[in-house]
Amino acid sequence: MAEQAARMRTVDEHLAGVLSGIGSIDPIEVTLLDAQGLLLAENVATDVPLPGYDNSAMDGYAVRAVDVRDASPANPVVLPVVGDIAAGAKSRSGMGPGLTMRIMTGAPLPAGADAVVRLEDTDGGVARVSVTSGVRSGENVRRAGEDLAVGAPALASGAALGPQQIALLAAIGRDRILVRPRPRIVVISTGSELIDVGRKPAFGEVTDSNSYLLASAAKDAGADARRFGIVPDDHAQLLDVLESQLLRSDILITTGGVSVGAFDVVKQALSELGTVEFTRVAMQPGKPQGFGHIGNGVPIFCLPGNPVSALVSFEVFVRPAIRKLLGKRNLQRQSVQATALETIPSKQGIRQYRRGVLHREATGGYSVSLVGGPGSHLIASMAQSNCLVVIEEETTEVVAGSRVTVIPLLLANR
């Protein structure tokens, strides 16, 4: 058959094709806590200074520095205390030369003062205070706008929004900002053998785990993911469901039905649309892949149904697509080099992804052992893995003790 004889696409070729088919989503306005983990989609400048007014960095006494220039423990300078200023004072007080005011951290510096003597450098007097250390002009004073001046850029479009950035936005009075939104993803499991979790499977029935696998993986990658649930291997029902989900989705994901079996309905039904391409990718697991667009250009991934294949396909193709939609520059997970604890055979010309357990060595490096055989149906051993071991196309054997590339499957918020 011509299709069988055709050269398989490499993983990198297929990924490049996928990413070129992923556009962008219009920015949306969100409140600050909903911005956590997203990228800013506007340049933010401040229209208030930070700090907002000259204030004291210490609990102490506001002074004119020249008045206490020569103060020392041996020669204290005694000043009359003409008032108290607490944080929250609603107006700026003032004081004349040769006088002082008791001031609290964050309270507005009075007119006439240019420095603050720390409480520790005084006798703490209430009516009169004895100052035992001199200060320079400006000492212990936070100047209005020294952190951020009015009109200064606070954050640039593209900035990743974590606690520090969200704090700054709050400090300058922005409670809503434009961000790149979380892509909305709907996951659809296909297969007439599938039943919903919670029901006891009769003979021949399989509980749908892929929609949970993929929806949680998509959430972890930053998407706003939902499970549609199960669709049987039926051409018309599949097309109806896809149609019904189009408006709610920035990406659609199906699993199952993309091999060459007689009931591989996803492949049959979507091939006819002509906008989704089904290919064989030189990888194991995850060889059959479908990708394209349906409706008004909504990207759709048609992943194989075996759970391990679904996981690997998600990691290799869907996760980078989600990150692209989020506006992230780095689309790939960070990989590490680890010492293989066993010899791993691999087929020439195929990139193999094996599940592994990554160990931190006492010496600082990593080592990795495999868990589960090459079978793509092994859900229990998949649950023990914490990484994927990547064996490159040209490698036919990773010898025990040699270095191998490993992708830790770290959770985003752990």
Q: Is 256 an interacting residue with respect to ligand AMP (CB under 6 A)?
A: yes
CB 266 within 8 A of CB 258: yes
Contact with ligand AMP (CB under 6 A) among 183, 290, 292, 305: 305
Q: Name the minimum Å distance from CB 11 to Mg ion.
A: 23
Q: How big is the site for ligand AMP, counted in residues (CB under 6 A)? A: 18
Q: Is 307 an interacting residue with respect to Mg ion (CB under 5 A)?
A: no
Q: Is 306 an interacting residue with respect to ligand AMP (CB under 6 A)?
A: yes
Q: Name the minimum Å distance from CB 266 to Mg ion.
A: 8
Judged by CB under 5 A, the stretch of 11-19, 91-99, 305-313, 342-350 that binds Mg ion is 305-313
What is the x/- site pattern for Mg ion, positions 388-407, by CB under 5 A? --------------------
Contact with ligand AMP (CB under 6 A) among 140, 210, 289, 352: 210
Contact with ligand AMP (CB under 6 A) among 76, 181, 222, 257: 257
DSSP E strands in 92-211: the ranges are: 100-103, 115-118, 128-131, 141-142, 153-155, 176-179, 184-190, 194-195, 206-207
Tally: H helices and E strands in the chain: 9, 27
Which of 91, 63, 78 shows the shortest CA–CA distance to 131? 78
Token pair 């009359």 in the structure block, residue: 80
Q: How big is the site for Mg ion, counted in residues (CB under 5 A)? A: 4
Please state, in angstroms and rounded to a whole number, the distance separating the CA atoms of residues 138 and 36. Answer: 37
Please state, in angstroms and rounded to a whole number, the distance separating the CA atoms of residues 189 and 332. Answer: 26
Residues of 73-83 as b/e, b for ≥16 C-beta within 10 angstroms?
eeebbebebee
Backbone angles phi, psi at 108, to 5 degrees: -65, 135
Q: Name the minimum Å distance from CB 200 to ligand AMP.
A: 16
193 binds, among ligand AMP, Mg ion, none (CB under 5 to 8 A by kind): ligand AMP
Q: Is 255 an interacting residue with respect to ligand AMP (CB under 6 A)?
A: yes
- How many CA atoms lie within 13 Å of 326's alpha carbon, on the beta-carbon side? 28
Per CB under 6 A, residues contacting ligand AMP are 189, 191, 193-194, 206, 208-211, 255-257, 259, 261, 304-307
Per CB under 5 A, residues contacting Mg ion are 191, 256-257, 305
